[in-house]
Amino acid sequence: MTDVPAAVAVARAEALAGLFVQPPAACPRFEGVRAADVPEPFRSLLDHGSHMTVAMERHHRGPVGLRIVAETAGPGDAYAREILLTGPGGDVVQFGIVRLDLSAVDAATQARIRAGVAPLGRVLLDAGTLCAVGDVALVRVEPGPHLGALIGPRPTFGRVAIIRIDERPVVELLEVVVTG
């Protein structure tokens, strides 16, 4: 994990949440936290430089499914989506928001991402895309009305991160673990 200041982590989380949650009062509340202050199993699931898809599959002992809640396309190749990942039993195990520049991947990978056939991490791994997950910072999450309706009202933990492809920042992530 990198040393991302708490205020920067919170600002990144709020900016991503603001893509899909309006008015701002409906947004989750975020607080930057140190890894040492995050209880297990949340810490192990969040405090690493790997794709969350891999961490969730390992933790839940099977593939995770994808449910797209909302998506938006911006100018050019900008794309964002709000998602839920489901465990092998169908329960929601993760909430996420991703914003990415589709021009960084080939046309087949772009099509697979837009089709929502699998979580982004799985699509990138299956495509053999060499990428690095970094700038990871942990946050405590108070769900608020919008997120609470999707995952329940209990406070939980998440992370913000950046995925670089060919050393270029391409993907911004907000990933919130729903259950331990």
CATH code for the domain in which residue 124 is found = 3.40.1410.10
Asked if residue 67 belongs to a domain, the reply is yes
- The pTM assigned to this predicted structure is 0.94
Q: Report yes or no: 170 and 163 within 8 Å, Cβ to Cβ.
A: yes
d(CA 119, CA 101): 16
User: Could you list the residue range(s) of the whole structural domain that residue 115 is in?
Assistant: 6-177
Stretches in the chain below the pLDDT threshold 50: none
- Please state the three-class secondary structure of 45-73 as a single string: HHCCCCCHHHHHHHHHCCCCEEEEEEEEE
How confident is the model at residue 115, as a pLDDT? 95
d(CA 58, CA 118): 16
Verify cis geometry, omega within 30 degrees of 0, for the bond prior to 169: no
How confident is the model at residue 89, as a pLDDT? 87
Asked if residue 1 belongs to a domain, the reply is no
Asked if residue 84 belongs to a domain, the reply is yes
Asked if residue 126 belongs to a domain, the reply is yes
Domain count, the chain: 1
How confident is the model at residue 1, as a pLDDT? 54
How confident is the model at residue 180, as a pLDDT? 56
Asked if residue 88 belongs to a domain, the reply is yes
Q: Report yes or no: 2 and 134 within 8 Å, Cβ to Cβ.
A: yes
